[in-house]
Amino acid sequence: MTGLNPMWLPAPTDLTLLPDEVHVWRIDLDRPQGQLQNLAATLCADELARAERFYFQEHRQRFIAGRGMLRSILAGYLGIEPQHIKFDYQPRGKPVLADTFAQSGLAFNLSHSQGLGLCAVNYTRQIGIDLEYIRPMSDVESLAERFFLPREYDVVRSLPTDQKQEVFFRYWTCKEAYLKATGEGIAQLEQVEIALTPTEPARLKTIKDWSLLELVPADNYLAAVAVAGFGWHLKCWQY
């Protein structure tokens, strides 16, 4: 694994986000029923309606947990109650802070997979995060050929079988993190070229002035954070 395996610390009561910091929160989405009820009480009608559209109860509960804890995290930075936060949505669905909260400059992005979530937060920089559970796949090469650039596909194809899957997900999380930061959709995967090897960290090859950092947030998970610009410091918190 080439990704950073950070220490996830409990957040201090006097949490401060400095202009040159990026905070990443690790969130356990499987919460007790009592906590879920409290989190659901902070959601708006639109979020509750979205939760109800999930077919499986497990998915409904994880959505409520993710959105509720996102509100709680952002509220801590903004100094308000979670239920008072309002969101706008960009054309491809990326949530951003609305109304007066947007003037704070607080930028965030949320990703979740299975029972784990990650939330990245900073001031003023475009930011995106993607998290993937590494699940067994029999068609890694064909997926790489379909979604990746020829040079990236060649890397996946050249690897031993036991390395193909990890490298595929490294490419995927890096591309998705950048596309989520810019608000573009998955259809643009082929427009983002990533340079990486099994032993070297990933970097954005064709796009300048962006940072890319790979994370290993838990066993069998991979993640990546894309941030506009350089010179920032990472802090990792456990919700």
Q: Supply the mean pLDDT for the chain.
A: 92
Right CATH for 130-230 from 1.10.443.10, 3.40.220.10, 3.30.1330.10, 3.90.470.20: 3.90.470.20
What is the share, in percent, of the chain residues with pLDDT greater than 70? 98
Which whole number is the average pLDDT over 64-75? 97
Pairing of strands 106-113, 116-123: antiparallel
| Per-residue exposure over 211-224, b if at least 16 CB sit within 10 Å of its own CB, e if not | bbbbbebbeebbbb
Q: Where are the domains of the chain?
A: 9-123, 130-230
Other beta carbons within 10 angstroms of residue 70's beta carbon come to 28
Right CATH for 9-123 from 3.40.50.1220, 3.90.470.20, 3.40.1390.30, 3.40.50.10130: 3.90.470.20
Instruction: State the pLDDT at residue 1.
Output: 59
CATH topology identical between 9-123 and 130-230: yes
In angstroms and rounded to an integer, the radius of gyration of the C-alpha atoms of the chain is 18
Given a cut of 90, is residue 238 above it in pLDDT?
yes
Contact, 74 vs 121, CB < 8 A? yes
> For residue range 112-150, what is the model confidence (pLDDT) as tens digits?
999 999 999 999 999 999 999 998 888 899 999 999 999
> For residue range 166-184, what is the model confidence (pLDDT) as tens digits?
999 999 999 999 999 998 8
* Helix 150-158, helix 140-147: angle, nearest 10: 170
